[in-house]
Amino acid sequence: MTRGTPVGNRLRALRFEHDEMTQDALARAAGITRQTIVALEGGHYAPSLELAMRLALVFNRRVDDVFFWREPPAACDA
């Protein structure tokens, strides 16, 4: 358990770009719960790679179009 996930996302913006898709509609499309969408959008939860790929697929985007590092870990700086 950590405070503040270093992985950000553009889920909220993408939902609005997609006909103001509701959180529940996105959750159903990705096969997860609305509460997890709330946690992701609030920056409270970092998804697994599989979930990140499923969410990206819903918007027909690449994973790194949807998810990004807020602060890359030191080991990745190089």
21 counts as binding another protein under rule CB under 8 A: no
Candidate segments 8-16, 23-31, 57-65, binder of another protein by CB under 8 A: 23-31
Query: How far apart are the C-alpha atoms of 30 and 37, rounded to whole Å?
Result: 10
Among 12, 41, 45, 61, binds another protein (CB under 8 A): 45
Among 23, 55, 56, 66, binds another protein (CB under 8 A): 23
- Minimum CB separation of residue 3 from another protein in Å reads 5
Structure tokens at 40: 């992701």
Query: How far apart are the C-alpha atoms of 27 and 73, rounded to whole Å?
Result: 29
Query: How far apart are the C-alpha atoms of 34 and 26, rounded to whole Å?
Result: 8
Yes or no: say if 61 and 16 are a contact pair by the CB < 8 Å rule: no
Q: Which residues bind another protein (CB under 8 A)?
A: 1-5, 23, 27, 31-36, 38-39, 43-48, 50-51
